[in-house]
Amino acid sequence: MEITCKNCGVIDDYITIMKNGQNVATCNGCQKFIKNMPYQIPKFYIGKYKGQTISSCADLNYLKWFILNTNPKSTQKIAVESRIHFLEKGF
């Protein structure tokens, strides 16, 4: 999905941040509001933890398996990598 800033015309150059419970896209070029983005908590889509949130998984071996053996979306991959780091380092 291509996202274009209506103010400056930049395409797919934005950041998203949570504001008042909304995931808001803001243009990196002109710093203007673009639109509210859908937000879903990343979940597993296959395996024994299918449907569960990634942040609730404490099975380090499964998390590592998931990264190596699946092709997750970027949001899921980031969530799994963050969870692995948290479980290994404690923060």
What are the tens digits of pLDDT across the range 18-58? 887 778 889 999 999 999 887 778 899 888 999 999 999 99
pTM: 0.58
The domain limits of the chain are 1-39, 40-91
Give, rounded to a whole angstrom, the gap between the first and last alpha carbons of the chain.
Answer: 33
pLDDT digits (tens, 9 = 90+) for 55-81: 999 999 999 999 999 988 888 888 899
Q: Report whether 37 contacts 25 (CB < 8 A).
A: yes
Euclidean distance between CA atoms 64 and 84, whole angstroms: 7
